[in-house]
Amino acid sequence: MNHWTEILYFSIFGAALVSSFVGLLFTAVMPGIDRWSKRFFSHYYIVFLLCCLAGLMEMAVYYFPVPGTVLHGIILLESMLLPIPLPMLTVFLLHCCGEDTRSGRLFHIVIGLVAVYFLMLLSSLFTGSFFYISQDGHFCRGPLYPLCPLPLIAVLLCNLAGTIRRRKKISRKVFLAFLIAILPIMAAMIAQLFFDFFPVVDISYVLSALAMYGFILSNQIEQDRRHQGEIALQHQEIALQQREIALQQQEIAHERASIMVLQMRPHFIYNTLMTIHSLCRLDPQKARQIIIDFTNYLRRNFNAVASDSAIPFSTELEHTRAYLAVEQAQYDDMLVVTYDTPFISFRLPPLTLQPIVENAVKHGMDPYSGPLRILVRTRHTDSVTEILVEDNGPGFDPSDPDKPHPTLTNIRQRLHLMCGGQLSIAPAEGRGIAVTITIPDSADPAV
């Protein structure tokens, strides 16, 4: 080799070595590629690094004379490393297509051709028919050398045919990546039949691998983005489904509220009418007032059916006052109601306070235990509004399974669905029960 040829050889080997190192570095640090592909390309570039180092060692021995057996070993090492990336390409192709490597016919053919190539190299140790080292320590081609690259060219043709045959199983970018990986190496191998220019094969390996890695990385990033888009659409669909479920639950809660209105206690209506009938003779003025209160109660009951959103607390409080006024007209001094409601600027589901008070009258009234006292209180603390309904009735155990309270359960569900509120029941101080409603300010637009 002359001086310029040596410079060219060293430059190409150096470029291939640097490119292999860059490819290995990118494979290690770049995100966006799956674990299997990352491991494959890491091994891929390590093989190229070894090939380039073997080539540089071969070039170096021309300046530092070594025994012929050492040179022979270096050339044999480089020649044996050269075909290793080719079956690796086959494995990667089968992996991309989702095929089993061990049972694939393509893989077995490729391994067989590589084995033939290795046998040719080993035979040169004894016969020199493919290559030999001259007495002055130079690499020389043997008479059968043109046959040596043929198995590797056949491997590349098999990979090319396998890629074309499986093009429908892989994306367009992956298909182009395999073509870029195969065709330049094949061209360099064919050129090697006529020209002794090993660095061209090495650089074609590395540049093809870099281009292939770029295409594979781009394809997987694109697939990840598409997958993330599909996940985002699925999340949107789930959110829509959850919203539909929430709307359905609100409709159910509204229907339950309607049922509560339609299931007014018959004996309450009967007793009210009988009380009005009696007072028409004894106290007509009081009878007229009860008729007004009872009419307000009924009107607000049926207005609640038409409401599908939270209402002002003042409206619910008037509904409750109308109901209790009717009950007080029937029970006289046996029912004492106290209101302590300084804070009323919030909203709540319709039929929330009135059914709780009605429940207190229904379960707490006992003519033999003295007057039933009911306290209705509101307060605003720590960004929440609390409503307390407390009575001195006999009380009950809310956890007793033998005493279901569908009215309170319905109110609890509607509070949660419509304004994120909560309802709790606890024994009152001394006697009776205390029902506490908690509504967060974030769900309560002021009125």
Closest CA to 357 of 336, 330, 342, 343: 336
Choose the CATH number for 3-233 among 3.30.1490.20, 1.25.40.10, 1.20.1070.10, 3.40.50.2300.
1.20.1070.10
Q: Where are the beta strands (DSSP E) in 196-291?
A: none
- 368's CB contacts (< 8 A; 6+ apart) are none
Contact present, 421 and 437 (Cβ < 8 Å): yes
Separation CA 242–CA 9 (nearest Å): 67
CA atoms of 76 and 67, how far apart (whole Å): 14
Backbone angles phi, psi at 349, to 5 degrees: -65, 145
Same fold, 3-233 and 264-443: no
CA distance 416 to 348: 10
Both tokens assigned to 272 = 């009210």
The radius of gyration of the chain from alpha carbons, rounded to an integer in Å, stands at 45
Contacts of 153 (CB under 8 A, 6+ apart): 186, 189, 190
CATH number assigned to the domain with residue range 264-443, chosen from the 4 options 3.40.1110.10, 2.60.40.420, 3.30.565.10, 3.10.180.10: 3.30.565.10
Write down the pLDDT at residue 342.
92
Supply the pLDDT for residue 446.
41
The Cα–Cα gap between 199 and 206 comes to 11
pLDDT score of 62 = 65
Helix (H) or strand (E) holding 125: none
**Domain coordinates of the chain in residue numbers?**
3-233, 264-443
Can you give the pLDDT at residue 35?
A: 81
Helix (H, G, I), strand (E, B) or coil at 88: helix
DSSP letters, 352-383, are: SHHHHHHHHHHHH--TTS--EEEEEEEEEETT
User: Per-residue pLDDT for the chain (447 aa), expressed as one digit of tens each?
Assistant: 456 656 666 676 666 677 777 777 777 776 666 788 788 888 877 887 887 787 777 777 666 666 666 766 777 777 788 888 888 888 888 888 888 877 778 999 999 999 998 888 888 777 777 777 666 656 677 788 778 888 989 999 999 999 999 988 888 888 888 888 888 888 887 877 776 655 566 667 666 776 776 666 666 667 667 777 778 888 888 888 888 876 776 666 656 555 554 444 556 676 777 877 777 877 788 888 888 888 888 887 777 666 667 889 999 999 899 888 888 888 888 899 999 999 998 999 888 898 899 888 888 888 778 899 999 999 998 889 999 999 988 876 555 544 546 778 888 888 887 888 999 988 887 788 899 999 998 754 444
Question: Alpha helix (H) ranges present in 263-312?
Answer: 266-282, 284-306
pLDDT of residue 414: 81
What pTM, to 2 d.p., does this model score?
Answer: 0.47
